[in-house]
Amino acid sequence: MEKQSLKRRGIKKVEVESAAPLSPAVKKEVGESLPIVFNIVGDPIGPGFIKSFAEPGMNLTGCTNLSASLSGKRLEIFKKAFPRIKKVVTFYDPANAFSILSIQETRKAASGLGIEVKEIFVKNADEIDKELAELRPGEYDGFYNTPDSRVVGLINKVVARANELKIPVMGHEEDLAVKGVALTYGANFYLLGRDCAIVVENIMRGNSPRTEPVISPSRLELIVNQKTLDAIGQNVSQTILSQADKIIK
């Protein structure tokens, strides 16, 4: 859109950010001075970004991948895929509000599934490396990835160590499956990005972020990485295999 058209609407700039941990920093820097459009935020209500999906009531709006609220469902799928799972390990930064919201949902599901979830706090890359090195063969039946930007940034190391231990990793989006995670369930980030572009356009056209609805995923996908499963000598149940939206071979 041309600058003159934006100026007529009183909008000179819109802050657009992706990934939950950036949102507090952007909000702190921008304050109420500009509209902020977020994407791939697991739970925008919990940390107080918005008041509701239908009417944010703040200068923030955008798209959510619902990752936090899907955490329990994700653990349920992990159990259905690998029925023998009894104990899993997960890494996350306790200072990450979105990880805390996610793990709360995971705990609720775990009690009903008969799964013990070992939570390990990691605050930087060095701690992730250290904790991965300390995992022992037979100690866990799987690695459950709590959405956390630091851990996701080092997912290749997580996958490599899990493969050494011959245990599957459960993740929350397709890109992780492409990087070797055995099983993922969550929003299609490509479609979510397309939807978020519509939100940006609406704001640029003069819509207020306070009344511009937050968009939820139009599609949730179950991805199986058969190549990884073959490498670690594991198989998912036929139930999950038949439900998979995509199988990476």
Q: Which two tokens stand for residue 15?
A: 């802050």
Question: Which domains can be identified in the chain, with CATH numbers?
Answer: 3-66+188-219 (3.40.50.2300), 71-186+221-248 (3.40.50.2300)
Return the minimum-mean-pLDDT range out of 74-88, 110-124, 192-206, 222-236. 192-206
* Model confidence band, residue 49 (pLDDT cutoffs 50, 70, 90): confident
Residue 25, pLDDT score:
65
Tens-digit pLDDT profile for residues 128-177: 999 999 999 999 999 999 999 899 999 999 999 999 999 999 999 889 99
The Cα–Cα gap between 23 and 37 comes to 9
- Contacts of 187-192 with C-beta under 8 Å, sequence gap 24+, read 187/40, 187/65, 187/66, 187/67, 187/217, 187/219, 187/220, 187/221, 188/217, 188/218, 188/219, 188/220, 188/221, 189/40, 189/65, 191/217, 191/218, 191/219, 192/39, 192/40, 192/63, 192/65, 192/217, 192/218
Please report, to the nearest 10 degrees, the dihedral formed by the alpha carbons of residues 24, 28, 32, 33 taken in order. -120
Instruction: Return the exposure string of 23-59: e unless at least 16 CB atoms fall within 10 Å of the residue's CB, then b.
Output: beeebeebeeebbbbbbbbbbbbbbebbeeeeebebb
**pLDDT band at 199, cuts 50/70/90?**
very high
pTM summary value: 0.82
Q: Would you state the pLDDT for residue 28?
A: 67
Residue 241 has pLDDT above 90, yes or no: yes
Question: Which pLDDT does position 135 carry in this prediction?
Answer: 98
User: CA 157, CA 146: separation in Å to the nearest integer?
Assistant: 15
Q: Each residue of 6-22: pLDDT tens digit?
A: 344 444 444 444 455 55
Mean pLDDT of 192-205: 90
**Diameter over CA atoms, the chain:** 64
For residue 3, is pLDDT > 50?
no
Question: Rounded to whole angstroms, how far apart are CA atoms 84 and 63?
Answer: 36
Query: Is residue 178 predicted with pLDDT exceeding 90?
Result: yes
pLDDT at 2: 36
Q: How many CB atoms are closer than 10 A to CB 211?
A: 11
Tell me what the pLDDT averaged over the chain comes to.
88
Q: Please state, in angstroms and rounded to a whole number, the distance separating the CA atoms of residues 170 and 151.
A: 13
pLDDT value, residue 24: 62
Residue 107 pLDDT grade (very low, low, confident, very high; cuts 50, 70, 90): very high
pLDDT at 4: 37
Range in 55-64, 177-186, 221-230 with the lowest mean pLDDT: 55-64
- With bands split at pLDDT 50, 70 and 90, how would you rate the model's confidence at 23? low
Burial of 241 (C-beta count, 10 Å sphere; 0-12/13-18/19+): middle
